[in-house]
């Protein structure tokens, strides 16, 4: 393989991968094991836990949460955002509603660690709803006319071995309910069956989690421990990468774990990749577009801006894999003129279609002043959840909405600056004695409950190229058109409305419920669970990639990530993204390499 150096304007490899997050790391490991040479291009810097994760600098809250050390420089490249098609979109220049990672590890470095699978019915949502409610669901208004329903094209049974593999690589802590049909623990009674138990036992519960469990049980619900990619004890994964036991320091989301306890590509995969002569990582490499053959039937590689030298370079490869953040995958497809950009007015086109968010609202309950919650304690995936109000367990026809939501307490650590800055007392003033007393009461005697659920896809929620704004490389920014719709708002209000039942069981003295409400705004953090735009499916007329994440248009291009989700799932997306990456890698190794052709026919 061509040596990696600034003097080489054109590099060569069997595979080029865009993005060094979870997808990039998984695909690089799987394909180098198959004997392929792999170049991974990462627009941000190389991040090393031993250096950047060194204590105590790694838990500097000002650097981490407020100066966004691990996040993208929005002055150079960002997205534009609007709520409606008739509006002028404006650039997202100040990190607010979502946080965009950059550098080796990507969002997999700054995430918190909640590591779920998927509710099986969500993978075939369209079929499930039509079988449950019949075609009249479209006529009677249960399914709104602007809602887009599609199946993923894969089943839970297809993906189960890959969920299991990802959990072993991540060092996931949890407690199963059934394994191979037998009850083995006190896990989620609604969860689908598993082939193996979690590799590590569940994390210890925080006090807030224990209280939430108690309240849910008394209210007649079914609490379980959230699966967490935070190691409950020392662990060596299948790649011989080591993790330390989590000490509940409270600095997970937005931070590089100094204790090597939180799963990340940097800790769990890259140490096994770096020694391989088949693997090369080029950091500070901003990919500009995907190159195509003259007949436009194959990808020939990518062109990137080398931010170290200021020069433009190419990587030629037999296989091109997009493994960037979901919206960046879509942006590259559109910049490269691969697939037809979705037009919401006509409904034609597949690239940019089915863009969605995650419905998430956070409420808070206050207990008596003798109860000390100790919210500074925390682990990113630590918590207790209930699935009683998720999709399969609700009569959505009676309730008048599609979807559902989990409720959970996820105490990841309430840090001091964030607690003070984000505290919004009922009093008008955010200073003085009254504010301090209110802040103290909130910090010591309350805890949060999240409603975390589906956000479905709608005709006018989409991604395209902005006609006005450009990035530092002269390219159009990706334009995000998004607003909350009444279906998701109804669902969120219904599930959030169950929180007082739990609070009353704990003799809470008060609570503050927060709900989704339109219009969507970027001022406050929601979540970084954005997806769709290059969705998977078995019909090329409505999907950009097939069930193996292979482009319908260029058979040697694979687009992997939450960009492939036709709609959001109830849970955090990382577990499903990892499983899809392993699923796609297996198809490439076992089928595509033997015969480089489309893996599915339309």
What pLDDT is recorded for position 427?
Answer: 63
409 within some domain: yes
Range of the domain at 82: 10-592
Share of the chain above pLDDT 70, in %: 98
The sign of the torsion formed by the CA atoms of 355, 92, 256, 40 equals: positive
What pLDDT is recorded for position 474?
Answer: 96
Is-above-0.75 flag for pTM? yes
Share of the chain above pLDDT 90, in %: 92
368 within some domain: yes
User: 177 phi and psi, to 5 degrees?
Assistant: -100, -55
What pLDDT is recorded for position 582?
Answer: 99
What pLDDT is recorded for position 4?
Answer: 52
597 within some domain: no
Which of 110, 529, 555, 567 is flagged as catalytic? Answer: 529
Element spanning 559, H or E: strand 557-559
SS3 62: helix
2 within some domain: no
Q: Which two tokens stand for residue 344?
A: 């919401």
Alpha helices in 366-415 (DSSP H): 396-399
Strand partners, 79: 478
Please state whether beta strands 279-282 and 38-41 pair in parallel, antiparallel, or not at all (unpaired). Answer: parallel
What pLDDT is recorded for position 288?
Answer: 99
- Taking residue 334's Cβ as centre, other Cβ atoms within 10 Å add up to 25
Report DSSP letters for 38-55, one per residue.
EEEE-SS----HHHHT-T
600 within some domain: no
What pLDDT is recorded for position 3?
Answer: 42
The candidate with the shortest Cα–Cα distance to 162, out of 194, 123, 114, is 194
Which residue is it, tokens 């630590």? 382
Q: Would residue 529 show up in a list of annotated catalytic residues for this protein?
A: yes
108 within some domain: yes
Residue-wise pLDDT tens digits, 505-554: 999 999 999 999 999 999 889 999 999 999 999 999 999 999 999 999 99
Q: CATH no. for residue 190?
A: 3.50.50.60
Q: Which two tokens stand for residue 375?
A: 């919210």
Number of domains within the chain? 1
Residue-wise pLDDT tens digits, 157-214: 999 999 999 999 999 999 999 999 999 999 999 999 999 999 999 999 999 999 999 9
> Vertex 106, ends 125 and 60: CA angle to 5°?
120
586 within some domain: yes
User: Longest C-alpha distance within the chain, in Å?
Assistant: 73
The mean pLDDT of 278-288, rounded to a whole number, is 98
Residue-wise pLDDT tens digits, 135-164: 888 888 899 999 999 999 999 999 999 999
Q: Which two tokens stand for residue 241?
A: 């990468």
What pLDDT is recorded for position 1?
Answer: 35
> In three state form, how does the secondary structure of 260-322 look?
CCECCHHHHCHHHHCCCCCEEEECCEEEEEEEECCCCCCEEEEEEEECCCCEEEEEEEEEEEE
Residue-wise pLDDT tens digits, 439-496: 999 999 999 999 999 999 999 999 999 999 999 999 999 999 999 999 999 999 999 9
- pLDDT reading at 6 higher than 50: no
The answer to whether 117 and 575 have CB atoms below 8 angstroms apart is: yes
Residue-wise pLDDT tens digits, 561-594: 999 999 999 999 999 999 999 999 999 999 999 9
């Amino acid at each position: 393989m061509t040596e990696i150096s600034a003097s080489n304007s054109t590099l060569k490899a069997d595979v080029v991968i865009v993005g060094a997050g979870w997808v990039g790391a998984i695909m690089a490991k799987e394909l180098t094991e198959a004997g392929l040479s792999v170049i991974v291009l990462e627009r941000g810097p190389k991040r090393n836990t031993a250096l950047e994760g060194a204590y105590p600098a790694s838990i500097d809250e000002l650097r981490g949460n407020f100066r966004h050390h691990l996040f993208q420089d929005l002055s150079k490249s960002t997205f534009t955002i609007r709520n409606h098609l008739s509006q002028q979109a404006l650039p997202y220049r100040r990190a607010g509603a979502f946080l965009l990672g950059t550098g080796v590890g990507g969002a997999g470095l700054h995430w918190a660690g909640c590591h779920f699978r998927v509710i099986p019915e969500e993978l075939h949502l369209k079929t499930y709803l039509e079988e449950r409610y019949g075609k009249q669901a479209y006529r009677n208004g249960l399914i709104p006319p602007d809602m887009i329903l599609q199946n993923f094209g894969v089943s839970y049974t297809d993906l189960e071995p890959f969920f299991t593999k990802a959990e072993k690589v991540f060092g996931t802590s949890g407690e199963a309910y059934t394994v191979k049909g037998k009850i083995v623990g006190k896990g989620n009674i609604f969860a689908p069956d598993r082939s193996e138990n979690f590799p590590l036992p569940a994390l210890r519960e925080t006090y807030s989690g224990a209280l939430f469990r108690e309240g849910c049980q008394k209210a007649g619900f079914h609490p379980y421990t959230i699966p967490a990619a935070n190691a409950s004890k020392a662990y060596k994964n299948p790649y011989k990468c080591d993790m330390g036991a989590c000490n509940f320091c409270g600095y997970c989301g937005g931070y590089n774990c100094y204790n090597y306890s939180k799963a990340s590509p940097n800790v769990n995969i890259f140490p096994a990749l770096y020694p391989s002569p088949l693997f090369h990582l080029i950091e500070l490499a901003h990919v500009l577009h995907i190159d195509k053959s003259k007949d436009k039937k194959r990808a020939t590689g990518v062109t990137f801006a080398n931010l170290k030298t200021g020069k433009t370079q190419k990587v030629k490869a037999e296989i091109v894999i997009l493994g960037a953040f979901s919206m960046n995958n879509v942006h590259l497809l559109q910049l490269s003129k691969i697939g037809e950009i979705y037009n919401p007015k006509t409904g034609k086109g597949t690239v940019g279609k089915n863009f969605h968010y995650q419905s998430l609202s956070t409420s808070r309950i206050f207990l008596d002043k003798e109860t000390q919650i100790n919210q500074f304690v925390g682990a990113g995936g630590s918590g207790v959840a209930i699935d009683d109000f998720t999709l399969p367990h609700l009569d959505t026809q009676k309730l008048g909405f599609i979807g559902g939501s989990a409720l959970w307490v996820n105490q990841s650590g309430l840090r001091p600056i964030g607690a003070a800055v984000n505290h919004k007392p009922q009093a008008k003033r955010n200073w003085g004695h009254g504010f301090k007393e209110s802040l103290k009461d909130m910090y010591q005697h309350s805890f949060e409950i999240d409603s975390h659920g589906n956000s479905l896809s709608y005709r006018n929620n989409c991604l395209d190229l902005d006609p006005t704004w450009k990035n530092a490389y002269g390219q159009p920014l990706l334009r995000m058109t998004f607003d909350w719709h009444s279906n998701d708002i109804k669902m969120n209000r219904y599930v959030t409305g169950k929180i007082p039942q739990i609070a009353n069981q704990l003799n809470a003295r008060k609570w503050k419920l927060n709900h989704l409400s339109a219009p969507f705004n970027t001022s406050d953090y929601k979540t970084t669970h954005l997806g769709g735009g290059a969705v998977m499916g078995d019909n090329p007329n409505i999907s950009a990639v097939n069930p193996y994440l292979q482009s319908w248009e260029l058979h040697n291009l694979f687009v992997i990530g939450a960009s492939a989700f036709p709609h959001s799932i109830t849970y955090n997306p990382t577990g499903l993204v990892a499983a899809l990456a392993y699923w796609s890698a297996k198809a490439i190794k076992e089928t595509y390499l033997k015969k480089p052709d489309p893996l599915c026919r339309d």
